[in-house]
Structure 1
Amino acid sequence: MKLTALSIALSLALAGAAPLQAEPSPANPKPAKPTATPAKPAPAKSFVPLDPLAAIQKANAYFNAATNMIGDFIQIGPDGRRSEGKIFVQRPGKLRFEYAPPATLEIVADGLSVAVHDRKTATKDIYFISQTPLKFLLKDQVDLSRDVKIIDVKSEPAAVTILVEDKATFGGTSQIKLVFDPAKFTLKQWQVTDPQGYETRVSLFNIDLSKKPDPNLFQITQEKLLNTNN
Structure 2
Amino acid sequence: MIDKTERDAGMPVLANRRQFVLGTAAFMACAALPFPSFAATNAAQQIADHFSSVKTMMGEFVQFGPRGEQTGGKFFIERPGKLRFNYEKPSPMRVISDGKNVVIGNTKLKTWDLYPLSKTPLSLLLADRIDLGNKLVRDVKEEADLTTIVLGDRTIFGDSTITLMFDPKNFELRQWTITDVQKKDTSVMIFNVQNGVQLDPSVFEIPYAEVHGQKRGG
CA RMSD in angstroms, aligned pairs only? 2.5
Tell me the residue number matched to 2:43.
55
Aligned to 2:4: none
1:164 partner letter? L
Aligned residues: percent identity? 39
CA-CA distance at 1:54 after TM superposition:
4.5
Unaligned runs of 5+ in 2: 1-36, 212-218
Question: Structure 1 residues 207, 218: closer, same or farther in 2, change over 3 A?
Answer: same
For these two proteins, the number of residue pairs brought into alignment is 176
Q: Which has the larger radius of gyration?
A: 1
Partner of 2:85: 97
Aligned pairs for 1:83-162 within 5 A: 83-145=71-133, 149-162=136-149
Query: Structure 1: 5+ residue runs without aligned partners?
Result: 1-48, 226-230
Identify the match of residue 60 of structure 2 among 45, 48, 72.
Answer: 72
CA distance in 2, matches of 1:184, 1:215: 33
Q: What letter matches 1:212 in structure 2? A: Q
1:215 aligns with 2:179: no
Q: 1 or 2, which has the higher helix percentage?
A: 2
TM value normalised by structure 1: 0.67
Structure possessing the higher relative contact order (Cα contacts under 8 Å, 6 or more residues apart)? 2
Asked whether 1:205 is paired with 2:206, we answer no
CA displacement at 1:181 relative to structure 2 = 3.3
CA separation in 2, counterparts of 1:138 and 1:177? Answer: 19
One-letter code aligned to 2:102: V
1:167-206 matches, within 5 Å, as 167-169=154-156, 172-206=158-192
Distance change in 2, residues 1:113/1:205 (3 Å): same
Change beyond 3 A, Cα 1:53–1:150 = closer
Aligned to 1:164: 151
Instruction: Check conservation: 2:138, 2:152, Cα contact below 8 A.
Output: yes
Q: Deviations over 1:84-136 (max 9, x none)?
A: 00010112211111000111110111112211101222111112234434543
When residues 181 and 110 of structure 1 are mapped into structure 2, their CA distance, relative to the original with a 3 A threshold, is farther
Equivalent pair of 1:152/1:162 in contact (CA under 8 Å): yes
CA contact (8 A) 1:73 1:204 kept: yes
Q: TM-score, normalised on structure 2? A: 0.70
